[in-house]
Structure 1
C-alpha cells in the first residue's frame, strides 16, 4: 500500500492502541461495542489506524524480545497495559513507509524531560532556569560553554530564564527563538507554534516580540501578534481558565488532560462557558458542565466520553 494512504496522527494511533488493549482485556459490553464502532466509523483515518495497529500487534507476537513476551503474556495489570501500549506505539513509529504527523513519537519517548497525559512537571535546569511541562509534553536541553538550548519536542512548556552569560535559545518545529531572560510560554500545534512573552523579550530571525504580547510563527516571521492572554499560563498553577469560551474549544482544551476521546456534539459546541477549573479532576469538571449548561455527559467507557444536548 502507498504510504501516503497510511498516514494517521499519533493521537489516533493511541486511540487505536486503547481499543486493542480493551479487546484483549475481554469481551466488550454493548456500550463499549457501540463506542468502538462509532470511533471506527467517525473517520477513514481511524480505520487505517485500526488495521495498522492489528498488523503491528501480530508482528510483536512474533518477536523473541523478553520485553515483548512479558507484555503480551503477563497477567492483566496496569503495568502490563503500559508495557503493551509502549510496545505498540513504538511498533507504529517503526512501521516501514509510515509517516506520523506532526512527528514520530519516538523522539518524545526518549526526551530529556517528559510529562504523560494529565500530568504537569517542573524541572530546575543546571543554570537555575525553571522548566514547566504541561500535559503530554517533551523537551530536550543542551547546555555547553557557548550557549543554552531548550528544544520543545511536543506539547507546551513554560520557561523562566536564569541570568547567565550564555545566550538561551528556544527551538520548536517551526523556528529558533533567542530569549533575553524573563518568562515565556511556548506551545506547539500541528502547523505552527505559539509564543507568549510574560516577561523579557524574544527574537525570531532578528524580529523582536516584547513582554505582554503573544504571536504565532511557522517560519522567520511573527504572525498574528496580539496582546497576551492573561490566562495563557494558568496551567502551571493547575487551572483551566475560560472567559466566554466556546464549549467545543473548552472541551478540546480539557481533552488534552485526559486519555481517550472527549467529543462535543455540534448542537452544543457554540454554548459559552466561563470559570476557573482545577485540572487535577477532569471528571469533576465534566460533572459541573451538566450543572452549568443544558448538556449531558455520556460515558461509554473511561476513554470515550461525549457531551451532548440535554433531552
Structure 2
C-alpha cells in the first residue's frame, strides 16, 4: 500500500471530521480559520487527512472537489451525518479504493433521488421538468445559475423537460457523456456499458466523452458509449410504459421480457434457453410480478419453477 493510502489514526479522523462539520455549517470566522490553519501545520498527518477528506467528499457528492462542500452543506442534517460517518470509515480503512469514483457502490446510496427494486418515482423539478425514475435507479440533481444538470448514476429515467425562464441548458449526464435537451421528452437507460436514448418529442444533442457529438430527432433512438455512437434506430414507444406501471411486449422474445421483468422484483429470475426465443405479446402490470408469471404459464408453453420466492426459473412445459 502506498504511504498516501495508509489508514489514518482514528483520533486524527475525528479532528478532521470536526473541521468538516464546521465548514458544512457555514463560513468559518477569523478565529476558527486561524485555528484550522494551525491544526494543519501541527502535523503532516493532519494535512494528509484533510486532503483525502476533501477528495472523498467530492467523490461522494458527484461534483468537482472545490464545490463539494457547498453541495453537502445544503443537504439535510441526517444525510450530512450519514455522509460524515461514511467518510470517517473510509479514512480509517485506508487503501486506494476511495479513488475509484465510478465504482463506488455508495454513490447510489447517497444520491439525491433513488428508487428501490420494484419502485418507480415521479418528481416535478424546480423548472417544471417532470422526472420519472424506473426501478433500481438513482440520480443527482445539480441546478445552478449556469445550467440544469441531472446525473444518471444507474438505471433509467424519463424526462419531460420544462422551459427555463433564465434560458439555462438542461443536461443529462451519464458515464458515457452528456445529453442536452432542446424542449423534449426522452428516456435514458444505462445498459451494456453505455447509454440508450429514446427520443419521443423535440430534439437532443448527444455528446460522448471521447467521440463526435450528434443530433437525435423525434422518433429516433441511439445507444452510445464514451467513445462510440451506434447507428440511429427507431424509438420504441413502449420503452417508457414503465412510467405508467406497465410492461408492454410486442412479439418480444421471452428471454428479453424476463430480463426486463427481473428489474422489478427482488431475487433471481432466470429463463431456460430452450424457451428464451418464444415471442410474447401483451400488456403486463409491474405492480404484481407474480401475477405476470402466472399469466405467462397461461399464454405460453412454459412452467414457472420456484426454488424459493427469490429464485425463480421459467422452463419449457
Correspondence for 1:10: none
Look up the match of 1:187: 189
> 2:271 maps to what in 1?
264
Q: 1:103 to 1:163 in 2, by over 3 A?
A: same
Asked if 1:208 corresponds to 2:210, the answer is no
Question: TM-score when scaled to structure 1?
Answer: 0.67
Asked if structure 2 preserves the Cα contact closer than 8 Å seen for 1:204 and 1:222, the reply is: no
Return the offset for 1:101.
11
8 Å contact kept, 1:160–1:183: yes
Q: Report what 2:311 is aligned to.
A: 304
User: Are the aligned partners of 2:175 and 2:226 in contact in 1 as well (CA < 8 Å)?
Assistant: no
Q: In structure 2, do the counterparts of structure 1 residues 259 and 97 end up closer, same or farther at CA, with 3 Å as the change threshold?
A: farther
Of 242, 246, 251, the residue aligned with 2:249 is 242
**Coordinate RMSD, CA, aligned:** 2.3
2:260 paired with 1:253: yes
Tell whether 2:140 aligns with 1:140. Answer: yes
Partner of 1:273: 280
SS of 2:232 mapped into structure 1: strand
Tell me how far 1:189 sits from its aligned partner: 1.2
Match of 1:64 in 2: none
How far has the Cα of 1:221 moved from its partner? 5.0
Instruction: For residue 104 of structure 1, report the CA deviation from its aligned partner.
Output: 2.9
What secondary structure is seen at the aligned counterpart in 2 of 1:224?
coil
| Counterparts of 2:170 and 2:107, CA distance in 1 | 22
Please say if residues 102 and 190 of structure 1, whose CA atoms lie closer than 8 Å, have aligned partners that are also in contact: no
Offset, 1:151: 0.7
Deviations 1:154-193 (A, max 9, x none): 0000011100111111101101111111111000014111
Aligned to 1:161: 161
Q: Residues 1-311 of structure 1 correspond to what in structure 2 (within 5 A)?
A: 103-164=103-164, 165-205=167-207, 206-219=213-226, 222-310=229-317
Query: How many pairs are equivalent?
Result: 220
* Cα separation, partners in 2 of 1:284 and 1:129, compared to 1, 3 Å: same
TM-score between both structures, scaled by the size of structure 2? 0.65
**Larger Cα Rg: Structure 1 or Structure 2?**
2
**Structure with more contact order per residue of length (Cα contacts < 8 Å, sep ≥ 6):** 1
Unmatched 5+ stretches in structure 2 = 1-85, 208-212
Give the deviation of 1:207 after TM superposition.
1.7
Q: Distance in 1 between matches of 2:101 and 2:266?
A: 19
